[in-house]
Amino acid sequence: MRAAAALTTMAFVLGGCGGDDPASPDVGSVQLTAPKQTIAVGEAVQLTASARDANGGVIGGVTFTYESQATSILSVSATGRVIGVAPGTASVTASAGGQTSSPVTLEVTPSGVAAVVTMSPNTFFPFRTTIRVGQSVLFDFPPPPSHNVIFDQRTGKPADIPETQNQQVTRTFNTAGTFPYECRLHPGMRGEVAVNP
């Protein structure tokens, strides 16, 4: 009888401890900032999001969800890395714990890059990129894991891109045709560039 009572008391104490866990406070607000307000097509910048409790204290270990209001102008990854896709103005928000930040607006200006290919996590996006002869494609390599870009053997293909991370690499296509490529570090990760005359 005493053993059963002791176990009941222990269960009650442990349960009470779990209910007072301060490690997961409610999110009162989300703040989002950008290091600059103007970027070029193909340029990437890292946004910074933070969550605060009802008293204004910063909450650590929070996972944020990012959203671009115009993905045709400004794309954003799951980690808050934004890339200029086309000239224009677009806003991004971050959300966590049922709260959404005020929009951060960035202006995207023209550049010599005709298209951007991103990698997230082990997929080339978009799979097919269409440009014209003489134009360039910017390959955006996120932070780890690393990727490479190895083109199929075709006449006029650009140079392969070796294992890379946290950088942007541009390749110019001077020959019309379709140029498939793959990441040999991640089997099945493929894409292609279609180059029109």
CATH number at 98 reads 2.60.40.1080
Contacts of 196 by beta carbon, 8 Å cutoff, 6+ apart: 130, 131, 132, 133, 176
Look up residue 115 and give its two tokens. 């298209």
Amino acid letter for position 29: S
What are the beta bridge partners of residue 1? none
pLDDT in tens, 2-26: 444 443 333 333 333 333 334 457 9
168 and 127 housed in the same domain: yes
97 and 70 housed in the same domain: yes
pLDDT in tens, 49-81: 999 998 989 999 999 999 999 999 999 999 999
Report the pLDDT value the prediction gives residue 120, as an integer from 0 to 100: 81
**What is the rounded (10 degree) CA torsion for 33, 35, 40, 46?**
-70
* Structural domain boundaries, residue 165: 113-196
Average pLDDT over residues 183-196: 97
129 and 66 housed in the same domain: no
90 and 118 housed in the same domain: no
How many domains are contained in the chain? 2
Average pLDDT over residues 132-140: 90
Distance CA 186, CA 182 (A): 8
Of how many residues is the chain composed? 197
Phi, psi of 133 (to 5 degrees): -55, 135
Distance CA 197, CA 194 (A): 10
pLDDT in tens, 74-106: 999 999 999 998 889 999 999 999 999 999 999
CATH number at residue 175: 2.60.40.420
**C-alpha dist (Å) from residue 97 to 65, 79, 80, 152:** 10, 16, 17, 45
